[in-house]
């Protein structure tokens, strides 16, 4: 018995070591490739996040798996996918806390240009939502078996409506637009879009999980609202007291405070999971309730934020890339659908924002610049469609089409701004000139 137990233990150890080996191999390739992709994107005048997203796609079956299928299988198929999946979800949970922490609600109360912000935010939500819902309702051939067109339509509509606030913020900083009137309008409208977008995603996720059962759906919505209220009026005062006692700032994040924040994020993620929506919402909510703790935000970004973006974020992009197979669009019909997705998403977000800006008196070029900034989707889009894919609401083909749309909408932002900003008299900083 003893020798048999020893043999089983030895086999288990070897399996664990093999799993660790291939996980480390994947991580090394992902991190190095992401850094290289980010540097190349910056040299081409794009945001580093754009390069990291594209690199993640290229590491999947769309390129790496197509060019070297045996090597691809060796790297990404020799071990179970669970370790990478868990790492990507932990990273996404931390990233969502970081995004919530950096959320500036001051933009939502900006008095100057308030009418324009309201119009642009409303049109930039309603028109793409309508286009996305119509597409999801009509694209029956692209839906997984058994999925209600209503649920699929709501998910695609939410994906069409989102704006990538963090990426847009980075781009605006590069072009020195953060304090310009046009920049204030864009970031304010994008902030409103993101608030409503995350609420919509939570609502649609709840609807999908409840499988269109009105009572189950209503119960989950009430429970989620109770948790949000408890977080704001119950957890927030205690968390703020803890932060004030630790007094973080200037890169100083005491270990006890860091541990408490990590535990808070993880418990919140567990709570939202138990409520029937994804764990990432818990992380985002914990960031939102502490958004006005500037010392904590500065310390977190210094001590933890860089590690999240360098280590965890590329894992999420590659995780998305492994699910994206451009080769699955193997007919003219598929590519026709893909072009329709890109066209409707762009027309809805860009067109809605442009028309609203013109309605409020902005000129043609100013409205176009505002429209292209609102059309930036990138990371936020990938989060939404991964949620939809995990719930089985959107098919692998539609997932791939939405990934391509997210990349396209982000890649075109920088060259359009570089071309159009001089037309309204905005001087381009040296680092973004051609």
Closest CA to 59 of 408, 306, 316, 310: 316
Tokens found for residue 16: 């664990």
pTM of the model: 0.81
- 114, 7: one domain: no
Check residue 105 and give its pLDDT.
61
pLDDT grade for 6, boundaries at 50, 70 and 90: low
Full domain range(s) for residue 35: 2-76
What digits encode the pLDDT tens for the residues 279-334?
888 888 898 899 888 899 889 988 898 898 889 989 988 888 888 888 888 889 88
pLDDT at residue 147 is higher than 70: yes
Q: How far apart are CA 168 and CA 107, in angstroms?
A: 14
Do 40 and 141 fall into the same domain?
A: no
The predicted-structure confidence for 52-95, as pLDDT tens digits, reads as follows 889 989 999 988 998 999 999 999 988 888 888 899 889 888 98
Statement to judge: residues 108 and 203 lie in one domain: yes
Tens digit of each residue's pLDDT (9 = 90 or more) over 348-404: 999 999 999 999 888 899 999 999 999 988 777 888 888 888 888 888 888 999 999
- Does residue 85 lie in a domain region? no
Look at residue 141 and tell me whether its pLDDT is greater than 80. Answer: no
With cut-offs at 50, 70 and 90, classify the pLDDT of residue 110.
Answer: low
Cα–Cα distances in angstroms (integers) from residue 325 to residues 60, 76, 208, 405, in the given order: 7, 14, 25, 14
118 and 215 in a single domain? The answer is yes
**Residue 15 within any structural domain of the chain:** yes
69 with 95, same domain? no
Q: Which residue has the tokens 């304090």?
A: 179
Q: Are residues 316 and 195 in the same domain?
A: yes
Q: Which of 159, 190, 88, 110 minimizes the C-alpha distance to 413?
A: 190
């Amino acid at each position: 018995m003893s020798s048999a137990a020893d043999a089983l233990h030895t086999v288990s150890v070897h399996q664990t070591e093999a799993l660790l080996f291939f996980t480390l191999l994947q991580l090394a390739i992902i991190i190095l490739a992401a850094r290289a992709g980010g540097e190349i994107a910056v040299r081409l005048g794009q945001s580093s996040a754009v390069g990291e997203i594209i690199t993640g796609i290229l590491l999947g079956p769309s390129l790496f798996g197509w060019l070297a299928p045996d090597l691809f299988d060796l790297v990404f198929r020799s071990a179970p996918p669970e370790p990478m999946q868990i790492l990507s979800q932990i990273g996404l949970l931390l990233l969502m806390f970081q995004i919530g922490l950096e959320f500036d609600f001051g933009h939502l109360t900006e008095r100057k240009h308030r009418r324009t912000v309201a119009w642009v935010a409303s049109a930039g939500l309603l028109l793409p939502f309508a286009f996305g819902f119509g597409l999801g309702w009509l694209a029956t051939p692209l839906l997984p078996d058994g999925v209600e067109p209503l649920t699929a339509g709501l998910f695609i509509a939410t994906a069409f409506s989102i704006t990538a606030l963090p990426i847009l913020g980075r781009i605006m900083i590069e072009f020195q637009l953060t304090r310009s009137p046009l920049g204030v309008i864009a970031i304010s409208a994008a902030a409103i879009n993101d608030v409503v977008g995350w609420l919509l995603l939570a609502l649609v996720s709840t609807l999908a999980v409840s499988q269109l059962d009105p009572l189950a759906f209503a119960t989950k919505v009430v429970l989620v609202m109770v948790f949000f209220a408890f977080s704001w009026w119950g957890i927030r005062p205690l968390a703020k007291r803890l932060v004030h006692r630790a007094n973080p700032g200037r890169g100083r994040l005491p270990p006890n405070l860091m541990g408490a924040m990590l535990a808070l994020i993880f418990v919140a993620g567990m709570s939202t999971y138990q409520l029937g929506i994804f764990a990432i919402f818990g992380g985002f909510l914990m960031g939102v309730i502490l958004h006005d703790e500037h010392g904590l935000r500065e310390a977190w970004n210094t001590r933890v934020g860089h590690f999240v973006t360098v280590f965890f974020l590329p894992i999420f992009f590659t995780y998305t890339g492994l699910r994206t197979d451009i080769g699955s669009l193997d007919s003219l019909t598929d590519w026709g659908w893909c072009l329709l997705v890109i066209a409707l998403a762009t027309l809805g977000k860009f067109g809605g924002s442009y028309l609203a800006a013109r309605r409020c008196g902005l000129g043609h070029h100013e409205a176009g610049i505002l429209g292209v900034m609102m059309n930036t989707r990138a990371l936020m889009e990938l989060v939404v469609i991964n949620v939809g894919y995990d719930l089985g609401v959107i098919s692998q083909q539609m997932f791939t089409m939405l990934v391509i749309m997210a990349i396209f909408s982000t890649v075109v932002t920088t060259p359009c701004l570089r071309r159009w900003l001089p037309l309204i008299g905005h001087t381009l900083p040296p680092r973004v000139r051609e």
